[in-house]
C-alpha cells in the first residue's frame, strides 16, 4: 500500500502521533483514511480546494498544508487508542498541542488576503 494523501505522508503523521501511539491506528491504511478526511475538512473549513490546486502551489503553502493535515491526522491516530501512552494526560496534551497548531494554520488559510498571496506566489 502507498500513501494516498495529498498534503502529508504516513511517516509525517507517525512522527507527530509519537512512539506510544496504537499499533493498530498508526499504520498506513488507517492514516490514509484519516488523511482523506482531514484534507476534505481543510478544504471545506477554508472554502478553497487546496487538493485540486496542490501541484501549482509553492513550497511555503504546501508546508502549511502538510503541518495542518499531519497534525489533524495524528490526533485521529492518538485518540483511536490512548492505552499505550504513559498516561491519558500525556495523550491529551499531545492532542491539544496538535489541535492548537492545526487551528492556527486553518485560521491563516481562512484569511482571504493570505489565500490570494499563497495562490499567486
Residue for grid cell 506566489: 121
The grid coordinates listed for 71 are: 497534525
- CA 13 – CA 28 distance, rounded (Å): 10
Average pLDDT over residues 40-49: 95
Question: Do 90 and 19 touch, CB atoms closer than 8 A?
Answer: no
User: What pLDDT is attached to residue 81?
Assistant: 94
* Residue-wise pLDDT tens digits, 64-101: 999 999 999 999 999 999 999 999 999 999 999 999 99
Q: Closest by alpha carbon to 33, among 52, 15, 13, 49?
A: 13
Q: Left, alpha or beta for 47 (phi > 0: left; psi -120 to 50: alpha)?
A: left
- Quote the pTM value: 0.92
The residues near 114 (Cβ < 8 Å, ≥ 6 apart) are 108
The grid coordinates listed for 60 are: 511555503
Amino acid at each position: 500500500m502507498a500513501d494516498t494523501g495529498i498534503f502529508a505522508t504516513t511517516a509525517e503523521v507517525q512522527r507527530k502521533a509519537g512512539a506510544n501511539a496504537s499499533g493498530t491506528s498508526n499504520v498506513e491504511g488507517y492514516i490514509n483514511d484519516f488523511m482523506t478526511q482531514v484534507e476534505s475538512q481543510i478544504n471545506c473549513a477554508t472554502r478553497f480546494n487546496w487538493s485540486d490546486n496542490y501541484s501549482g502551489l509553492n513550497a511555503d503553502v504546501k508546508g502549511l498544508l502538510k503541518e495542518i493535515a499531519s497534525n489533524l491526522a495524528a490526533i485521529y491516530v492518538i485518540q483511536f487508542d490512548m492505552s499505550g501512552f504513559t498516561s491519558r494526560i500525556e495523550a491529551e496534551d499531545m492532542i491539544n498541542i496538535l489541535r492548537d497548531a492545526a487551528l492556527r494554520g486553518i485560521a491563516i488559510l481562512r484569511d482571504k488576503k493570505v489565500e490570494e498571496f499563497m495562490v499567486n506566489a
